[in-house]
Structure 1
Amino acid sequence: MGEAQHLPSEINGPKTEAAISPNNNTTSSSSSPSFIQYKWWIQMLIYAFFVIAGQSAGTLLGRLYFDKGGSSKWLATLVQVVGFPVLLPFQLLNKNNHITTGTSTTPPPKKPFPYALVGFYITIGVFLAADCMLYSIGLQYLPVTTYTLICATQLGFNAVFSFFLNKQKFTPYIFNSLVLLTISSVLLVFQTDTGDSNKASKSKFTIGFLCTLAASAGYALMLSLTQLAFQRIIKKETLRAVVDLTVYQSLVATCAILIGLFASGDWGKLSAEMEGYKSGRVSYVMNLFWTAVSWQVFSVGCTGLIFQVSSLFSNVISILGLPVAPVLAVIFLRDKLTGVKAVAMLLAIWGFVSYMYQHYIDDLKIKEENKRFCDDDDDEHVSEVGLVN
């Protein structure tokens, strides 16, 4: 597989594509390196916002579901993946993005059935269903601070998986970012939530701890495998590819969870659960609906960051959003904003800035290389003109 087929899995900034063909010496302004770099940064910021906003809203709504009387782990798991229909209109984007040349009416050759791609969708979908169930159990049995702390361990797992599967490179700024983001989440364990410490028995606390730890490791592995799939199976760097992956893996996960929901008998208890919901039936339905939408927004942002940068960067943005949830809880759930939470947020922002600074340095290097390439190309063109004259 040639180098042009690889995604920017390391910290290399945006890819730049030459818009000069052998038969055309003019370069499109819309394909200039500067335009491509700006477009890359805008896309990256949008995906990062999706990750933080979707994760924060989904976590708060999931916490609210259990606090107000919800008890079905299968339903709490289902809403994490069932919102994929809201993304179906985006699959129409670039559907006919192909170029026809000349007046030839010869139909394009048929492509072989993508067995590898379908197999990946099914595998990653089942894996996603199991991982979401583990997260649901952890969120139900653990205090919010402990749950958040354990979720931060996914950075360490992802660093290991990225090193072996994606050949992730580390720099001092990257290492500094990982340390700061991990510490910001670790600090939250010192913030006790009133009424949460005795929420679960010791046995349930242990189960929740182990499930959340396994879920964090599984999520980190999913990110690395997704990046690997973009490189070797999907081989497309388009919004359509991101949406396709999100939709199909969510569809498979939804089917798997629905089987568990009906097989466990939980589906028969949902009507009584809705009637007994403390905020009412409408609030119950709206909670489930917006939870589903929030996690789909998170999935699109997460997958987009994987092929725009790397699985490790996607995980860093996800970790950045962990301290955001406690701050939003102050506004929406009337939680108390303490000094520990404020420090955790500042450290998370510091870590994020450190990581972004590394990308800024890489971006400057790319600009220098592009400028040097253009200067060399101009010199070569002048030399050819002189020889012709």
Structure 2
Amino acid sequence: MNNNTTTQDQFHDSSEQDQKAISNKRYIPLLLINYTCLFVGSVSSSLLSKYYFNHKGTNRWVSTWVQSAGFPLLFLPIFLPYYLFKCTQRKPFSRFTPGILILSIFIGLMLGLNNLLFSWGNSYLPVSTSSLLLSSQLVFNLILSVIIVKQRITFMNLNCVILLTLSSILLALGSSHDRPHDLTRAKYFIGFMATIGAGLLFALYLPIMEMVYKKVYCYAMVMEMQLVMEISATALASVGMALDGGFAEMKRESGEVFDKGEGVYWATVMANLVTWQLCFMGTAGMVFLTCSLTGGICMTALLGMNVLGGVLVYGEDFGGVKAVSTVMCGWGFCSYVYGMYVNNKQLDDDHMQISHATNAPPIEMAQVVTPPSSDPHLRV
């Protein structure tokens, strides 16, 4: 019995290492798919949220609700691989313990609060300003990653965090010129602080997720946890909407308030549901496959695209301060990616030297995808 348990535990470690190992041939495609989801979801959701408010949408609970209410889309990556494509022998939600369930619910409620703060900030601030302000979460992400998951501070990640944080400071110094003429200073300040709060809360969310994902041995479990989190966040937003009369407001808003018509209103809501799920799916996958700091840096790098999107789509001002901030965002991200490339290349060279020294061929992690096990549910 003990030998069988040991074998299962060894395979548990092997399968986790396999899905996260750079030497695995499935790693890079999976990483690119998740970053594509993050890219499309982040840029599109930001622009669609602003579109809603620009055309007289006013309910911030509605904007909060759509960020998580698209959770049924997560049933596709959870159930299709097992029931339709037959590409995995692991049944959905097997080994999904009560402890993981409770953790997912708690983190989902925290995510719901983050969504509300983001909606408040986005309703008052231009897309470019709110997007670049969110980059302030990186320095807190680094600090919390060091405390929670023992992230090692290197010149590579410290340089990136400093550059991206300086870009936020530059934006803050020149942000007063972005305030719409019909927006009071008090409301602009509320939006400014709400956006900062959303960034700080998300900085805490990422390392907590990395810590939890250390107990997760396959990508399918990541999507299952994400489903529970989104359901919890949706429940929180639904309660807020019900207490604030948000559901009745949606019906009235679509027919009487939204200046583009009822059809465009509901199309905007549905598009928001899809794009936000792509964004959160991509974020979860990036943290699982890399680490919380890398996920945060990738998200921050996309803020520059959000800035350009706000300028191109809504004609927002793009002065010298935003130009410098955007360049610093791109510079910081590129230096981080190059540092990761050099580090991974060095690791590969070290592994090759070890294998030559021992006269043994290098072990490809893809070869240990399905080792023998008495429990078929453990197979990836």
**Aligned residue number for residue 91 of structure 1:** 78
**Aligned residue number for residue 153 of structure 1:** 136
* Structure exhibiting the larger radius of gyration computed from Cα positions: 1
Structure 1, unaligned runs of 5 or more: 17-32, 100-107, 381-389
Specify the code of the residue in structure 2 equivalent to 1:254: T
**Aligned residue number for residue 289 of structure 2:** 308
Q: 1:236 to 1:146 in 2, by over 3 A?
A: same
d(CA) in 2 for partners of 1:309, 1:60: 27
1:15 aligns with 2:21: yes
Q: 1:201 aligns with which of 184, 194, 199?
A: 184
**Aligned residue number for residue 38 of structure 2:** 51
Q: 1:358 aligns with which of 339, 343, 346?
A: 339
Structure 2, unaligned runs of 5 or more: 1-8, 362-380
Does structure 2 retain, via aligned residues, the 8 Å contact 1:327–1:341?
A: no
Superposed counterparts of 1:35-114, under 5 Å: 36=24, 39-95=26-82, 97-98=88-89, 114=97
Specify the code of the residue in structure 1 equivalent to 2:134: C
d(CA) in 1 for partners of 2:29, 2:333: 16
TM-score normalised per structure 2: 0.81
d(CA) in 1 for partners of 2:304, 2:169: 10
Give the 3-state SS of the residue equivalent to 1:323 in structure 2.
Answer: helix
Question: Percent identity among equivalent residues?
Answer: 25
Q: 1:265 aligns with which of 245, 255, 264?
A: 245
Q: 1:298 to 1:362 in 2, by over 3 A?
A: same
1:243 aligns with 2:254: no
d(CA) in 1 for partners of 2:75, 2:34: 18
d(CA) in 2 for partners of 1:113, 1:313: 26
For residue 151 of structure 1, report the CA deviation from its aligned partner: 1.4
Give the 3-state SS of the residue equivalent to 2:359 in structure 1.
Answer: helix
d(CA) in 1 for partners of 2:21, 2:323: 37
d(CA) in 2 for partners of 1:119, 1:169: 29
d(CA) in 1 for partners of 2:301, 2:352: 34
Q: How many corresponding residue pairs?
A: 344
Does structure 1 retain, via aligned residues, the 8 Å contact 2:131–2:307?
A: no
Does structure 2 retain, via aligned residues, the 8 Å contact 1:230–1:307?
A: yes
Does structure 2 retain, via aligned residues, the 8 Å contact 1:185–1:322?
A: no
Q: 1:264-283 CA deviation, whole Å, 9 max, x = no partner? A: 21222222211221111111
State the Cα RMSD in Å. 2.9
Specify the code of the residue in structure 2 equivalent to 1:164: I
Give the 3-state SS of the residue equivalent to 2:56 in structure 1.
Answer: coil
d(CA) in 1 for partners of 2:315, 2:65: 27
Does structure 2 retain, via aligned residues, the 8 Å contact 1:148–1:188?
A: no
Does structure 1 retain, via aligned residues, the 8 Å contact 2:13–2:217?
A: no
Does structure 1 retain, via aligned residues, the 8 Å contact 2:134–2:196?
A: yes
Q: 1:241-292 CA deviation, whole Å, 9 max, x = no partner? A: 2321222211111122112211221222222211221111111111111112
TM-score normalised per structure 1: 0.79
d(CA) in 1 for partners of 2:165, 2:158: 11
